[in-house]
Chain A
Amino acid sequence: MKKSESAPDLLFRSSDWNFGKLSRVYDAISEIAIDDLKLDIYPNQLEIISWEQMLDAYSSIGMPLMYQHWSFGKRFVFEEHLYRKGHRGLAYELVINSNPCISYLMEENTMAMQALVIAHAAFGHNHFFKNNYMFQRWTEAATILSYMDFAKKYIARCEERHGTAAVENILDSAHALMDQGVFRYRRAPRLSSEKERERARERLEYEEQTYSDLWRTLPKKEADGTEDEREREVRDRKRALHLPEENLLYFLEKNSLILEPWQRELLRIVRVVAQYFYPQRQTKVMNEGCATFVHHTIMNRLYDDGKISEGAMLEILQSHSNVIFQPAFDDPRFSGINPYALGFAMMKDIERICTEPTSEDRDWFPDIAGSGDWRGVLLDAWANHRDESFVLQYLSPALIRHFRLFQLTDDADDPYCEVASIHNERGYEAIRAALARSYDIGVIQPDVQVIDVDLLGDRHLRLQHGVKHGVVLEEATRNATLRHVRRLWGYDVSLEGVDAESGERLYECSTKQIGE
């Protein structure tokens, strides 16, 4: 009740917003975020939009600029239906990983919601985008918008020149391979062709310099000469094509024999978009957790300083607790673990461990327990982890008990699921590791790679699916996707499933069998 004394300091009173209030609130939030939480952000650009524009943004996967494609129309129809029927509300905000960082604010939001959203998106997400290593490594915030602008215009031009159908064919096929169109372990090779030629020349020169006639006199290996020759040939051509290659779209773009230059450019565009979203999919828990933690901390601070009223705070808390609601597994509302809930709880937990550790925390987190510097720990975690490693590193027993997590194993051949571990002393580590695995994109996404192709022979493209734990691919979509690969490659394509551990061949299918 002491808040009412400092009422004159309130940043806003009524629930209507205007640009003056927004600006005032922004400054107050910014002060706490930068000076206290030490957030490091891209310059902000806040855009006010209506619900129709929000739906538009939704259906073009959250990009302000997107090329035209029917699948976005499908998504739009879907989202619009859900929204009109009231099945689903729209997000209060949408934020784009770009520099400047663009946040969309809905015009329907009340002033309290706008404050919440600014803290959440313009500071929380923004900081995460700028500092997390995944985003730093895989995305280029400064250029994405101009690239998308180029892509949109380029595709529109292609449609004019080659017809919508031709462009759609390529885009359809490319979209099917989007998940396999990212570099997971390395950046795309950036050598320009000129540099490449330069290098080849250097290599040749080097070979010439170090040529020694002596080597020729060495006797060749006699046994299985033909077999060996074949193997070496295969090895050589694989090396020349940098096989195996995990990025199918990249491989097709560079090596497909039937694609026109503009078609290659389309593949490249889809690949760039896929790569841009690649970090987001691996940092959902952290990203949302970071933003939620930031808005929660900032809003509470503003309230403690008497800058927002109790009414507004209640509205904010109500919305906050909706966002971090986690139903139990047998609740009809359950649809997996809520990334907001998990992320926020874990970061709150880190704060607790740093300031008020229990003896259990001291055992589990000797480095940070009681250190008091939760800001530093969180900044470090936000910068250097993705969901998998973050869970593995920071999920505490206290939190496992709080969520009452348990681990279930499910063998396809067994009519029963088995409870492997629960929230007890013996189960903590197993649950933590299992939960971390469930966020590892390398585990949850099928691993399909190009392993071989004989460009001089039948040009048969061989893909390999590394089967983990016996989880095979769904047949209908697998065949449909293979047909798309064939469309881009132009010749037969086959996919073999190989057990990742034993190397045993589990299945093989080819576009020859499944037909067009």
Chain B
Amino acid sequence: MPNFIDRRLNPKDKSLGNRRRFLKRAREELKRTIKEQVKAGKIADVDAKHSVPMPEGGTREPSFQNAKGSGQREYVLPGNREFTPGDRIPKPSSGGGQGGSRAGTGDAEDDFRFVLSREEVLDLFFEDLELPDMVKLSLKEAIAYKPRRAGFATTGTPTNINVGRTMRNSYGRRLALHRPKRKEVEALAEEIAALEAKPATAERRRRLEALRQEVEKLERRRRVIAYVDPVDIRFNRFEPQPLPNANAVMFCLMDVSSSMGEREKDLAKRFFVLLHLFLKRRYERIDIVFIRHTHEAREVDEETFFYSTQSGGTVVSTALEEMLGIIRKRYPSKEWNIYAAQASDGDNIAGDSERCASLLHEAVMRLCQYYAYIEIIDERETEIFGATDNGTSLWRAYRTVGANWPNFQMTRIARPADIYPVFRKLFARQPLGQARS
């Protein structure tokens, strides 16, 4: 008699630890692969599974192996049809033995790709990035709990009794145990009363006796089978649920005047998506507010923000005012971590840039965790503007803000390839001392 053991309920994923070790080992290489894939592909695709080739360095398992194209070998192969001894067969030019018996096994692993889950991809992508100003988050680190309904329990405090559930149980039990109804008892009592009212005969007396016994039995039964028994009682059960108290709102500000072409918008979008992705990993809940502006600013939905065009002049300060209004109305800075990213080509109506700077100085920067300004410039301009302080009026005005507020960052980008490095620069670890008080 064999010993049968059912292992199906045993824990699975015995190899999970090994998989984790493997990924850790290949980390650097996988990171590089992901980076390349992100650079080449669409930014929105970052937030998904990625198929990556088997990493080579670090996960090689060398051993002494016979070299393929050396020495004299012999093979025994099945399926001869037309060969006779002495036939000479040209070797395939790609090298490796004609026999191929060993040729396949070694290479297969190198061509092999495997899939990294979305989480693994993003972890690799964002590794060692830190939020620029984590003060608010760290202050709110202690998790708040809110009780959340989670089914029923047989124990609890009287205030939590669930009457409906309790009565349902009681009713079912009463039905099942045939608890006499009050009506039945009353009907018998009436009958007794009616009989008592009539003159007593022997037959009636017997009948009366029987009825009284019946009533007594029913009453006893009613006493034994309680109307509401402790076993019926159900309490509402509550489970403490961590509150997503780390809320963030991300303001996307963009100039949509005609000077912003498709290329500029595309670059801006990529930047916004990256910022969003990053915030999404830090905060449980993120709202995004899109504000576009020409000579006037309006809050719009994402579709309109990126894809509809508007003509008009350019007054950047309107967008900042709109943003301040929205913060006042919907996102009090006590409860929300506010992030803002502004994309522009740097054009602004004369005199407005100074107003923007003062708005930032006086109001916006006090409220924001972080404010990023990216100026999208022409590729040809990169050489000219690359490192100098020259530039558009907006750029010059914003430089004064940047000098005073460590949580204000500004930079210029010209190509999709620039975004990622810029992104890294923007979110490079900041010394804690500079944190906003």
A: residues with CB less than 8 A from B are 19, 22-23, 26-27, 43-50, 52-53, 55-56, 59-60, 68-74, 76-78, 80-81, 100, 104, 107, 122, 164, 168, 172, 175-180, 326-331, 334-337, 403-412, 415-423, 426-427, 431, 434-435, 437-438, 444, 446, 448, 465, 467-478, 480-481, 484
Contacts and interface: CB of A to CB of B under 8 A. Distances in A.
Give me the 9 closest cross-chain CB pairs, A-B, nearest first: A328-B79, A73-B22, A470-B71, A73-B18, A471-B71, A480-B62, A329-B77, A70-B21, A406-B80
Interface in B202-237: none
B72 A469 contact: yes
B88 A416 contact: yes
B8 A48 contact: yes
B351 interface: no
B76 A423 contact: no
B98 interface: yes
A426 B85 contact: yes
Contacts of B105: 335
B15 A73 contact: yes
30 contacts: A48-B6, A56-B12, A56-B14, A60-B15, A60-B18, A68-B21, A69-B18, A77-B114, A168-B25, A176-B61, A328-B81, A404-B81, A405-B80, A407-B75, A412-B70, A416-B88, A417-B88, A417-B91, A417-B97, A418-B86, A422-B80, A438-B74, A438-B75, A446-B66, A467-B71, A470-B71, A472-B66, A472-B71, A476-B62, A477-B65
Given A26-B2, A74-B54, 15 more contacts: A53-B10, A70-B18, A81-B113, A104-B7, A335-B105, A407-B74, A408-B74, A409-B74, A422-B85, A426-B85, A470-B72, A471-B66, A472-B67, A477-B63, A477-B64
B59 A70 contact: yes
B84 A48 contact: no
B387 interface: no
Contacts of A409: 72-74
Q: Which of B60, B76, B85 has the most CB of A within 10 A?
A: B76
B22 A473 contact: no
Contacts of B281: none
Interface in B384-412: none
Interface string B88-105: 111100000111111011
Contacts of A480: 60, 62
B23 interface: yes
A161 B19 CA distance: 22
A35 to B, nearest CB: 16
A419 B84 contact: yes
Nearest to B17: A68
A48 B74 contact: no
B175 interface: no
Interface of B: 1-8, 10, 12-15, 17-25, 54, 59-81, 83-91, 97-102, 104-105, 109, 112-115
Nearest to A483: B62
Contacts of A419: 83-89
B118 to A, nearest CB: 16
A74 B56 CA distance: 11
Contacts of A437: 74
A410 B75 contact: yes
Nearest to A432: B76
A225 to B, nearest CB: 40
Contacts of A74: 22, 54, 59, 61
Contacts, number: 270
Nearest to A22: B4
Contacts of B18: 59-60, 68-70, 72-73, 76
B12 A446 contact: no
A17 B122 CA distance: 44
Contact of B76 (A47, A407, A477): A407
A176 B182 CA distance: 87
Contacts of B73: 409-411, 469, 471
Nearest to B88: A416
Nearest to A475: B67
A179 B63 CA distance: 8
A471 B17 CA distance: 39
Contact of A472 (B14, B21, B70): B70
Q: Which of B14, B66, B112 has the most CB of A within 10 A?
A: B14
Q: Which of A406, A407, A476 has the most CB of B within 10 A?
A: A406
A45 B101 CA distance: 36
Given A404-B78, A404-B80, A180 B72 contact: no
A179 B65 CA distance: 10
A337 B70 contact: no
Contacts of B100: 329, 334-335
B3 A73 contact: no
Nearest to A52: B12
Given A26-B2, A74-B22, A76-B15, A177 B63 contact: yes
Contact of B71 (A48, A412, A415): A412
A234 to B, nearest CB: 25
A70 B101 contact: no
B368 to A, nearest CB: 42
A46 B65 CA distance: 37
Contacts of A337: 76-78, 101
Contacts of B7: 47-49, 53, 104
Contacts of A46: 2-5
A271 B400 CA distance: 68
B98 A408 contact: yes
Contacts of A59: 15, 18
A373 B239 CA distance: 74
B22 A60 contact: no
A410 B91 contact: yes
B169 to A, nearest CB: 37
Nearest to A408: B75
A184 to B, nearest CB: 15
B13 A52 contact: yes
A506 to B, nearest CB: 10
